Amino acid sequence: MSNTVFQKIAVIGAGTMGSGIAAQIANAGHDVMLFDLPARDGDDKSPAELAIDRLMVSDPPQLMHKRNAERITTGTINDDFDALADCDWIIEAVVERLDIKKDLYRRLDATIGPDCIVSSNTSTIPISLLVEDMPPAFRQRFAITHYFNPVRYMRLLELVRGTETRSDVIDRLADFNDRVLGKGVVRCADTPGFLGNRVGVFALQVGIDEAMRCGLTIEQADALMGRPMGIPKTGVFGLYDLIGIDLMVDVVASLRSILPEGDAFHAVGGENAMITAMIADGFTGNKGSGGFYMTGDDGIPLARPLSGDGEPLADWRPASNALPDSAIRAADAAATRREPLLEIIDGNDDCARFSRRVLGRVLAYAASLVPDVTTSPQDIDDAMKLGFNWQRGPFEMIDAIGTSRMAALLDEAGLETPAVLGSSDAFYRADGDVLTVRQSDGKFAAVSLPEGVMRFHMTRQTLTPITSNNAASLFALEGDLRLVEFHSKANALTDESMEIVGAAAEDHGKGIIIHNDAQHFSAGVDLNAFRTLIEAQDWTGIDDFLKRFQDAVFKLKYTPVPVVGAPSGLAAGGGYEVLTHCDKLVVHTNSVMGLVEAAVGVVPGGGGVKDTYFRWHAAKGNWDDAAWQTWMNLGYAATGSSPQLSARMQYFRDGHDETVMNRDRLLPRAIALVGELQDGYAAPAEPVATLASPDLHAKMDSFMQDGVSRGDFMPHDRTVAMEIAGIVLRGDGDGETASEHDLYARERRAFINLCQTPETHARMASMLDDGAAIRN
pLDDT in tens, 436-461: 999 999 999 999 999 999 999 999 99
| Buried b / exposed e along 523-551 (16+ C-beta atoms within 10 A) | bbbbbebbbebbeeeeeeebbebbeebbb
Peptide bond into 60 cis (omega under 30): yes
Helix (H) or strand (E) holding 298: none
pLDDT confidence of 772, banded at 50, 70, 90?
A: very low
The confidence score (pLDDT) of residue 263 equals: 96
pLDDT at residue 776 is higher than 70: no
| Cα–Cα distance measured from residue 409 to residue 344, given in angstroms and rounded to the nearest whole number | 12
| Cα–Cα distance measured from residue 23 to residue 71, given in angstroms and rounded to the nearest whole number | 9
3-state DSSP assignment of residue 569:
coil
Indicate the DSSP class of residue 166. -
3-state DSSP assignment of residue 570:
strand
Percent of the chain with pLDDT over 90: 94
pLDDT at residue 560 is higher than 60: yes
| Beta-carbon contacts of residue 356 (< 8 Å; ≥ 6 apart) | 345, 409, 412, 413
Distances (CA, A) of 249 to 98, 254, 771: 20, 9, 31
Over residues 624-651, the pLDDT tens digits come to 999 999 999 999 999 999 999 999 999 9
Q: In what order do the strands lie in the sheet with 301-303?
A: 293-295, 301-303, 317-318
| Cα–Cα distance measured from residue 592 to residue 567, given in angstroms and rounded to the nearest whole number | 9
The confidence score (pLDDT) of residue 3 equals: 64
Over residues 268-325, the pLDDT tens digits come to 999 999 999 999 999 999 988 899 999 998 889 999 999 887 788 889 999 998 999 9
pLDDT confidence of 771, banded at 50, 70, 90?
A: low
Over residues 161-179, the pLDDT tens digits come to 999 999 999 999 999 999 9
Q: Measuring CA to CA, which residue among 744, 767, 332 is closest to residue 545?
A: 744
Over residues 3-61, the pLDDT tens digits come to 678 999 999 999 999 999 999 999 999 999 999 999 988 778 999 999 999 999 999 99
| Cα–Cα distance measured from residue 737 to residue 748, given in angstroms and rounded to the nearest whole number | 18
3-state DSSP assignment of residue 522:
strand
Helix (H) or strand (E) holding 592: strand 592-594
pLDDT at residue 1 is higher than 80: no
Task: Strands of 296-425 (E only): list them.
Answer: 301-303, 317-318
DSSP 197-232: HHHHHHHHHHHHHHHHHHT--HHHHHHHSSGGGTS-
Distances (CA, A) of 731 to 348, 665, 723, 725, 752: 65, 47, 12, 10, 18
Q: Measuring CA to CA, which residue among 500, 470, 461 is closest to residue 483?
A: 500
Mean pLDDT of 673-679: 97
pTM for the complete prediction? 0.94
Cα dihedral 490, 495, 496, 501 sign: positive
Q: Measuring CA to CA, which residue among 228, 203, 238, 265 is closest to residue 351?
A: 228
Distance in angstroms between the alpha carbons of the first and the last residue of the chain:
49
What single-letter amino acid sits at 217? T
| Beta-carbon contacts of residue 737 (< 8 Å; ≥ 6 apart) | 688, 689, 690, 691
| Cα–Cα distance measured from residue 427 to residue 434, given in angstroms and rounded to the nearest whole number | 14
Is the CB of residue 131 less than 8 Å from the CB of residue 59?
no
pLDDT at residue 66 is higher than 90: yes
341: left (phi over 0), alpha (psi -120 to 50) or beta: alpha
Distances (CA, A) of 449 to 88, 396, 445: 26, 17, 12
Helix (H) or strand (E) holding 445: strand 444-446
| Cα–Cα distance measured from residue 643 to residue 649, given in angstroms and rounded to the nearest whole number | 10
